Amino acid sequence: MWKEILLQLEDHYEAMVEMRRYLHQYPELSFQEFKTAQFIADTYESLEIPYQKNVGGNGVVARIEGGKPGKNIALRADFDGLPIQDEKEVPYRSKNEGVMHACGHDGHTTILLTLAKVLKQFQQELAGTIVFIHQHAEELTPGGAKPMIEAGVLDDVDYVFGTHLWSSAPYGVVQTSPAEFMAGADRFSVTIHGQGGHGAMPHETKDAVLIGSQLVTNLQQIVSRRIDPLKTAVLTIGTFQAGNTFNIIADKATLTGTVRTFDKEVQKFIIEEIETIIAGTCQGYQVNYTFDYVKGYPPVVNHEAEALEVVKAAQSVEEVTKASFVDPSMTGEDFSYYLLDKPGAFFFTGAQQENNFQPHHHPKFDIDERAMLIAAKTFVQLIKNYQ
């Protein structure tokens, strides 16, 4: 049976590419993925696989109950896009202005739908239940994972697994970790309320650009000089917005940034240090400020036994050239919530295009579509190993 499943997946590869490219053309932003959710639901309807819509928001959950008793295994794929203009010169470029699948979620969706189509044919020979979790809003906190879990998607699940098509890793490579795998991801903003004026009379102003620039420099000293070098942390300022023209000193400046950590105590310390530095810097220039800090997704921490199963499963896939544990990534993912609730693991499936590497969230991001087949086969081997 298992060999036949893998062969059928290979037979479906061209259809996988077609589906992924269709989804790539019609991305939708987080919490607005109504048509994508309907596409997923319609696919399960056509396959005569029971499903639920509007789970925890725009989520869709389908189940294939095997003909034999066994473990219930959940597989998760996200399906939201990003507010990025697609700049690729390809026939399947996004048709939705300013919205793009720049992170591979179209591929994730395709993997699960194709796998469900194939496994449906072997339903009576399967043991346990396979739960297909199609999650909305991974890209934008508070995310879709938590409300879907609260809606009960993991209530009868024994193990949960997910993958991310990863453009930073070559095709044929599968990566995971036996513990910490992806960082907790927070965001913050600070607005400096200065006093504007003529560019020729700086002594009559409180220059928000100057103060903001000083703040950027000061904040960088938290990680470099206040955090134990053996602890992992990132603090990045992503935007700095101020001023309207060249000869007017700005009265307001807004900075936004992100903090990435694994340790709750480090996170707490950084939050306190940020506000201390902001307050001290602004007090020194005699200006007011507003500060907002939003705690995002917790770190993705795999369960060791299940991470080992991922490596073992991937090593059984013919196209995989290397399956191994790697150092954690400072990127974030709300798959973390699933792992706080049930045993499981998250893994990267190498999807870097040869001679065309672009990072995730880039306007020219794309994937090696063959990676979808590796991910689907790895899921099959995982299911097999738990039978």
Catalytic residue among 28, 33, 106, 138: 138
Q: Is 265 annotated as a binding residue?
A: no
Q: Is 103 annotated as a binding residue?
A: yes
**Mean of the pLDDT values across residues 71-95?**
98
Percent of the chain topping pLDDT 90: 99
Whether 290 and 327 map to the same domain: the answer is: no
Whether 8 and 119 map to the same domain: the answer is: yes
Catalytic residue among 33, 80, 207, 251: 80
Whether 157 and 191 map to the same domain: the answer is: no
**Mean of the pLDDT values across residues 258-287?**
97
Instruction: Kindly tell me if the per-residue pLDDT of 359 is higher than 90.
Output: yes
With beta carbons less than 8 A apart as the criterion, state whether 373 and 6 touch: no
> Beta-carbon neighbour count of residue 275 at 10 Å?
15
pLDDT at position 352, please?
97
Whether 279 and 323 map to the same domain: the answer is: no
Sign of CA dihedral 278, 283, 284, 289: positive
Whether 156 and 204 map to the same domain: the answer is: no
CA distance 99 to 361: 11
CA distance 120 to 278: 57
- 267 band by pLDDT with thresholds 50, 70 and 90: very high
Sign of CA dihedral 240, 243, 244, 245: negative
Instruction: Kindly tell me if the per-residue pLDDT of 355 is higher than 90.
Output: no
Q: Is 282 annotated as a binding residue?
A: no
Q: Which of 278, 297, 316 is the last residue of a domain?
A: 297
Number of separate domains in the chain: 2
CA distance 155 to 319: 34
> Beta-carbon neighbour count of residue 128 at 10 Å?
19
Q: Which of 268, 297, 326 is the last residue of a domain?
A: 297
Q: What is the pLDDT of residues 119-158, one digit of tens each?
A: 999 999 999 999 999 999 999 999 999 999 999 999 999 9
CA distance 298 to 335: 9
Mean of all residue pLDDT scores within the chain: 97
Whether 12 and 53 map to the same domain: the answer is: yes
Whether 314 and 262 map to the same domain: the answer is: no
Known catalytic residue: 138? yes
Whether 176 and 319 map to the same domain: the answer is: yes
Whether 321 and 293 map to the same domain: the answer is: no
Distances (CA, A) of 374 to 84, 111, 274, 365, 380: 27, 9, 43, 20, 10
CA distance 314 to 378: 5
Known catalytic residue: 106? no
Whether 189 and 237 map to the same domain: the answer is: yes
Instruction: Kindly tell me if the per-residue pLDDT of 260 is higher than 90.
Output: yes
Whether 285 and 312 map to the same domain: the answer is: no
CA distance 323 to 277: 44
**CATH for 211:** 3.30.70.360
Instruction: Kindly tell me if the per-residue pLDDT of 319 is higher than 90.
Output: yes
CA distance 29 to 104: 14
- pTM of the full structure: 0.94
Sequence-ordered list of residues with C-beta below 8 angstroms from that of 278, at least 6 positions apart, any chain: 190, 215, 289, 291
Q: Which of 269, 297, 325 is the last residue of a domain?
A: 297
Q: Is 361 annotated as a binding residue?
A: yes
Instruction: Kindly tell me if the per-residue pLDDT of 207 is higher than 90.
Output: yes
Whether 330 and 358 map to the same domain: the answer is: yes
**CATH for 122:** 3.40.630.10
pLDDT at position 356, please?
80
pLDDT at position 252, please?
97
Domain extent, residue 210, equals: 184-297
* Residue 160 structure tokens: 């949960």
Residues β-bridged to residue 323: 174
Instruction: Kindly tell me if the per-residue pLDDT of 357 is higher than 90.
Output: no
